[in-house]
Structure 1
């Protein structure tokens, strides 16, 4: 299926030989396990790799040939993590550099140059997801202006690509553009919707407790579009006080795991990371935790996942949207939730394929 793939940010390699080796180790066996001639990829390239490929047309053509030879097709790219995504501690560093920093613009431009060469021929348009400007603080009006200027420069560059290319801004809890509503309010009056829209990460959407169908409708009514969907599932905890031991298993040191609690009056309490939530949130209402859990396997009770949000989003978005499975947390899952990576990715793609068929 040409619009479905998995995001390679689950793999840590940050040089071309390492990337190809990991594709041989994981992506090719996943393709073979699924019994398909071509497997879709949401490609992640660290900034240095993207810059090297962007500067070398021959290297881009060779990379495309290497992908073709393996039966792998790039359907989208993820340019959210700049680099070091598998460092021992990532946390807030994943939001750097922000869109106020020239390096973020250059990285994204480099990724579009690469995608213009390697995008699968059967994909209607190229898409690259990016961070929602940056972490929420510090942030000033000057930062707002600098980010808008950078996006305007990017838009001018996209108009010159040989293929249709679009940037997908990805709302995330705790960032400047925390929710889809925040993202609409910031983008809609400022950007060209032909080239800039939203990446709808279903884990992030679930954590916000927003209604999936109404959210998709609000995007369309704003004049923006869902450029791509990242199919990812959050942890759902109906009774946090009864699940403290299980939740502590997910409080790992590498990634930030934002938590939201839905109160009886409809308000949402917030914590920036799971250890903080365990200490500060009241635990009287259900929690949603930004921890991408495998799509095909419900966590052990009393925990659950938010797969229902994925299903609702996929029903609501246009039928031709790119869908990228993005469970990058396999290596930090509690041991009893882990699975062979090839088996796990294949099972997730099979699950997602049924949802969009």
Structure 2
């Protein structure tokens, strides 16, 4: 797979804009032959899209790829598809819904993200499952379609929660998976604000409800990997439910699509930010050193010297700015993107990190 650990953008033409619901669209991006290897992606990865406003402001947003991943031995993708849900006050989502049309050109970063499932890594006869809410279906559509097509012995259970049938994204695409793999794809739909003629009662998928529901659907502890995606509250509740049923932490994979505004955690003992600091960063094989100004994140310090440093949300959610701490010590304000194994190994989110020691060295290339 082509490397994706840098902040380079390429202009891609919008091939189609498809309305999925009243508040969501799918953008199909055409990838020219000379860039297809760079846009080769694993199922579950995302793209960062960039817009420069008429006033000169730069807006970046991250959207998961919903199209299946290309075969490992075949060519890179000729097209990529992402789902965009309208967010109240969202600058990019409003632009995508009201202004973007087929033939337009968008700046698109190469694929990134570790919320992935590689079919070649699946054990024979493995069973996978996902719990998603709203637009959290987007990466799981790619993951399920890729896995089921590549592995005739794999099974996938999708539990999805939406407000209503009319607000459900990729309804036809998920139904097509059920038609193509009736014996290997299990779909369970829960609506939180609308009664269904058949199926589960209306209501939110919280920890209590999932604890009662999941054992009736599949052998919970036998599932090789659980993929949780959507709003922070849903993902947290699903994780607690699974951990309460003795699912090992290593089998639970999470991606947050939205985090409500929450206070920054208070720094722990010995974690005071250095009054003056310097950061040395390695990116695409080149290193540089820059001062870190008071209150500034390590990412912002690096960006003053390297405008190509990778980032998207700057909110600790997307994981685009993931970097390895080579030396020194940092404090992260919050983290909704890295799994425990990554932070224990020394990775941080540069957008949320501040120097604790005067000298810090980061490696964005690992």
Report if TM-score (shorter chain) is over 0.5: no
Instruction: Tell which structure's C-alpha radius of gyration is larger.
Output: 2
- TM-score range normalised by the length of the shorter chain: 0.3 to 0.5
**Larger relative contact order, structure 1 or 2 (CA cutoff 8 Å, min sep 6):** 1
Normalization by structure 2: what TM-score? 0.34
Q: TM-score, normalised on structure 1?
A: 0.34
